[in-house]
Structure 1
């Protein structure tokens, strides 16, 4: 299944945000040029200008909302993993797979990505809502993780540190 926060955990151990961003870019490029090539994501770089213009908000506020989105995705990865594990267990036990909880989580995150005009996240989250191949869903989640890290590596790093601290103190 998903190697929970594999990239983030390595970077948190090394305490190097620059390394986190570089590794996220490498993994993202690899995924979109091989396993996810049919999605035509290529080397997408988010630009807040479209969101600023269409939403009528200033760039500073859009950037704050993007930071919140990055935190939301990092936190959602734990939930996605749990839901994928449930789906995998159902498949292993030859029980009918219920994708509804997984799709609802993808839909929740899709709305935020769509509002902020984060095109690659929109595409990946749409795939998470529609597909039923567990291996493919894992690839899309991996791409979503690294795409989110690329948006704001420092925020991704800080969010993971907060998650780890909460687990450590059972908060």
Structure 2
């Protein structure tokens, strides 16, 4: 199917210009700076287009991969929290949600954002259950990739969700350890 969304066309053209100019540190659309979207999705599209050529399939492949990884991460998390059967139902339900299906098939940054925010939240939950340095670092890592993908929303969503989740568990102090460790010093 041809690119139909305005964002898909803008992402594809900015990625094409990135490849033509070999400028992988900034994006341009029709020769004008396009700084409203961070660079990660452009890099993923550039890799795909370099391998498969400039076509709709190559533009959308990174989102499809991100959507698949998103489902896999959801499955793994659900299996850890509940059991195999519940994890399969969880992924099946997620797969049937129209918005998830659209995002995973669109050549935009949204599937990557959803993957990185989910991975951040999953590891925040794991940290709340069993604090460790590796989980702490992974929260920051996934959040950083989210920031490179879509900007501050990749930090704000986990921040707000974390306050609520940790408060409901009676672990608000642990939440502040999670967020302040970066500035204050080492936790573990």
Q: TM-score per shorter chain, which class? A: 0.3 to 0.5
**Greater Rg over alpha carbons, structure:** 2
TM-score in terms of structure 2 length: 0.30
Q: Which has the higher contact order (CA 8 A, sep 6+)?
A: 1
TM-score in terms of structure 1 length: 0.32
